[in-house]
Structure 1
Amino acid sequence: MLKPISAGRDEAVARSAEWIPSVRWALAGLSLSMLLSSLGTSIANVGLPTLAQTFTASFQEVQWIVLAYLLGITTLIVSVGRLGDILGRRRLLLAGIFLFTVASVLCGVAPTLWLLIAARAAQGLGAAVMMALTMAFIGETVPKEKTGRAMGLLGTMSAIGTALGPSLGGALISGLSWRAIFLVNAPLGIVTFLLTHRYLPVDRRVPKSDRAGFDNVGTLLLALTLAAYALAMTMGRGSFGSLNIALLLAAAFGVGLFVRAEARAASPLIRLAMFRDPVLSASLATSTLVSTVMMATLVVGPFYLSRTLGLDEALVGLVLSVGPLVTALTGVPAGRIADRFGAQRMTIVGLIGIAAGSFILSMMSATPSISGYLGPIVVITVGYATFQTANNTAVMADIRPDQRGVTSGMLNLSRNLGLVTGTSVMGAVFALASATTDVTTAPSEAVATGMRFTFAVAAILIVVALAIALRSRALSRRTQGD
């Protein structure tokens, strides 16, 4: 086992030119933790039709199987990151992996739909711990000069989990039953628990009198605010009614209450002064914008491929898997490049790639083809992998040890909020541009027009993100110059 790290980093590891075996095994445990949490997001979607039939439920009811998991992650990921900073990250990560594994088994044996939904919420809480603390541990397990490639590895595992979910879920349901899509997490969870228990650095013992307090009021306000926002963006299957507006107003009111509570708290959940750091503020803003845009590929892609290109379901699934596959293959090389050329510089390069791909899609010719669609998608996903790895590295490489958990949680939250927002906003833009109330029956030309307009909006959003990143870099250089 690695020795306790007093300064947040093992000096012997920092001096090492290559990762020693214990560090490699620690990274293997962290990688599996990231794989499981992303797999839990993607694998359940493919089973919704089967689950609706099994439990004789409507789509609105079974979609809570996905929403419960999403809400568990979104509402608590910052809070569990902060809790790890206070109580010890290793201890809490092990608890999160244990909870995720047990909840997966409970999902697999659930006799009723509502017990399945409750187990999925618990699984989401475990995933929130795993997502928040996995990134936070990078600073304690690898040398600073190799932070980028470690972040790239985590990005690769997240992409593999996302890409593997639909195909693995479909195979398990057809070969076994819907219960297998949850029970498959159990053996993987046990292996992850054993690796992290054996190889992660132990938590430093801090006297209770020296521990910072946990912000219960801030945690509750943030959870309720994020829950209201997530529900406002996801309920209604594309229609934005009075309930959605009420939830959105409640979320806005919650933000005001949360800021006021944090300004008065003795030990706040999020120190508002953190947002004065131009690198952190820009990273959170650009991460949200990029994730919003990336959701457009999942919202628009299936309709464009099926309605405009006329592909069957199998081919649509195959084409859609190209994006996550490219991200998985690009993650580690992107990390190495970020380590060599600088994280902030590569963040900008990644944004330029996403903007270029989005612009090309917005100018798609009137005679569409699979290769004409896939080329820009590959450019976008390579840009995304480069951005995501470099952006996370820029923030986590120099963060204070006692703030790693909450900062990692905030980075993951910005990504989740972007995905949630993108589902609603980019879907609405696509429907509006297609000039139809039902995209599933829209003419192929209308879908193609909607796709071009949606990615024109996406390109504009990435240009905004690029402006934020460039301004942040200029401010950072000016601060270092002073």
Structure 2
Amino acid sequence: MSKPDLTNCPKVLQNGDVRWVMASLSLPMLLSSLGTSIANVALPALVHSFAASFQAVQWVVLAYLLAITSTIVGVGRLGDVIGRRRLLLVGIVVFSVASVLCGAASGLGWLIAARALQGIGAAIMMALTMALVGEAVPKERTGSAMGLLGTMSAVGTAVGPTFGGVLIAVGGWQAIFLIMFPLGVAALLLALRLLPTDTPSTGAPRPPFDKAGLVVLAMALAAYALAMTLGKGHFGVINGALLLASIGGGALFLWVEARAPAPLVRPGLFRQGTLGAGFAMSALVTAVVMATLVVGPFYLASVFALEATPVGLVMSTGPLVAALSGMPAGRLVDRLGAQRMTIAGLATMALGAVTLPALSASVGLAGYVGALAVTTAGYALFQAANNTAVMTGSGSEQRGLVSGLLNLSRNLGLITGASLMGAAFALGAGTSDFTALAPQIAASGLAATFSIAAGFILAALLIAVRSSVVFRHKESLNTD
């Protein structure tokens, strides 16, 4: 493989030869997604290996997610300040070294700490791969690039459990972490060889990095994530205290930002039509995605009497469809426009969400799988379009920050959706004991859950329509 000449980035863009750049960005995105999904399958082995409770080993997964959620905005902004390529390389190294530390951990505490470090590396990779698309890919091909990144993320989610199970059978739980090291080295070599260098400094003084804002925001986000995840859906005193702490932390963050000479996040950023709408829609839609992941296994086991393996196969439909839909969705965005495809994606999701309970009841398992496939295909189209609209609508000096915020909105949607959709299912079913659900009770819970999910999609659709109207109005003014 010959190395393309990326020393002159505009020349590469003119020739349209972006496949090298996307190859170097795809592997970090795959690794960060794989790091989330591959660890879940190891939890039973960790319980046995460390003689720990299931609640204790769950922190192996939670520490990774908390690290990503609490740091992704800060690392995105840091990339804007010190150079996105430079920080991406650091993130790959951190992720790779942390993977070795995970595999070598002699105790559960060391493993959890190493997973938190691995999560920081993953946050850097997630934020800066999307940010670098804006620098290295022509604007007319941004949709395809975002579709490819979405595909790689879905592939990581889809293959993680199966890949992890094979590795554990061959080399024990350590193997699922140690395999990340050679993959990380490959990602590092590709990035070093293929990514264009950071834009040289103009000589102007570098703006100070808002360390105080970063710390306060990270603590507020961590408190919120813990409030939504601890207690397995039972919202108790600790959850309430953490939620209050997150609200107080958010207020403190706004106070700090108002006085910072170079704030981490300027409040006016959220008032920009495309960006604010994109963040809001992303949070709403990913909360809906969690509905299938949270309530799906209970519904399938109860109504269709499926064992764990068939349930897993049905659940893999979503990531598989997302992986197959990512690239075609990106091409549609490039051809037909991000605004139009955002609405089309949301409309498709709404169709799937509204019909899923009815088709499951009338057609059976095939109806459930078909509606799930439609919902996921709509999500893939929405994600490619929304990511394209947000990233192309941001200035070059803040792409890292915007990418971090976009990924944060997705994570917050997933975390909130996991808690809210589980509560909706319990409310509809009339019980919080999911161990032995009668089929009719599970069906009632599914109907209640997807009624709320459809409402979320409708809210996102209204935001998308309003944003599209504003966008076209601005375009007409610019034309005149």
Range into which the TM-score falls when normalised by the shorter chain: over 0.9
Q: Determine the structure 2 residue equivalent to 1:306.
A: 301
Shift of 1:365: 5.6
Distance 1:366 1:27, change over 3 A: closer
2:410 and 2:346 map into 1 onto residues whose CA distance is 15
In structure 1, C-alpha distance between the alignment counterparts of 2:130 and 2:321, rounded to whole Å: 21
CA distance in 2, matches of 1:361, 1:312: 21
1:6-155 superposed matches below 5 A: 10-16=9-15, 18-19=16-17, 23-155=18-150
| Alignment match, 2:476 | 481
1:147-186 pair list within 5 angstroms: 147-186=142-181
1:274 — aligned with what? 269
| d(CA) in 1 for partners of 2:331, 2:267 | 32
CA contact (8 A) 1:362 1:456 kept: no
SS of 1:363's equivalent in the other structure is helix
- Ranges of 4+ aligned residues in structure 1 off by more than 6 Å: none
Number of residue-to-residue matches in the alignment: 474
Aligned position for 1:356? 351
Letter in 2 for 1:13: V
One-letter identity of the residue aligned with 2:146: M
Structure-2 separation of matches of 1:32 and 1:229: 30
Q: In structure 2, give the amino acid aligned to 1:284.
A: F
Q: What amino acid does structure 1 have at the position aligned with 2:321?
A: V
Tell me how far 1:60 sits from its aligned partner.
Answer: 1.5
Identify the residue that residue 419 of structure 2 maps to in structure 1.
Answer: 424
- 243, 257, 272: which is aligned to 2:238? 243
Q: How does 1:173-252 map to 2 (within 5 A)?
A: 173-206=168-201, 210-252=205-247
Deviates more, 1:262-271 or 1:345-354: 262-271
1:385 aligns with 2:380: yes
1:354–1:381 contact (8 Å) kept in structure 2? yes
1:183 and 1:33 map into 2 onto residues whose CA distance is 16
Partner of 1:318: 313
Shift of 1:48: 0.7
Q: CA deviation at 1:424?
A: 0.6
RMSD value, Cα: 1.3
Percent identical among aligned pairs is: 57
TM-aligned CA deviation for residue 4 of structure 1: 5.1
Q: 2:471 and 2:252 mapped to 1: Cα distance?
A: 31
**Structure 1 residue matching 2:435: 3-state secondary structure:** helix
- Which amino acid is the alignment partner of residue 220 of structure 2? T
How far did residue 152 of structure 1 move?
Answer: 0.3
In structure 2, what is the Cα distance between the partners aligned to 1:14 and 1:183?
A: 37
Does 1:330 find its partner at 2:329?
no
Aligned AA for 2:81? I
CA distance in 1, matches of 2:345, 2:354: 14
C-alpha contact 2:360 2:366 (8 A) present in aligned 1: no
Contact 1:34 1:157 in 2 (8 A): yes
Unaligned 5+ residue runs, structure 2?
A: none
TM-score relative to the length of structure 1: 0.96
Q: Is the 8 A contact 1:13 1:143 kept in 2?
A: no
1:437 aligns with 2:436: no
Q: CA deviation at 1:443?
A: 1.0
Deviations 1:312-345 (A, max 9, x none): 1111111111110110000010000000000011
Which residue matches 2:257? 262
Q: Contact (CA 8 Å) 2:217, 2:253: kept in 1 or not?
A: yes
Give unmatched runs, 5+ long, in structure 1: none
Deviation, 1:208, is 7.1
**Structure 1: distance between partners of 2:89 and 2:361:** 53
Shift of 1:211: 1.0
Deviates more, 1:365-374 or 1:345-354: 365-374
Report deviation, 1:256: 1.2
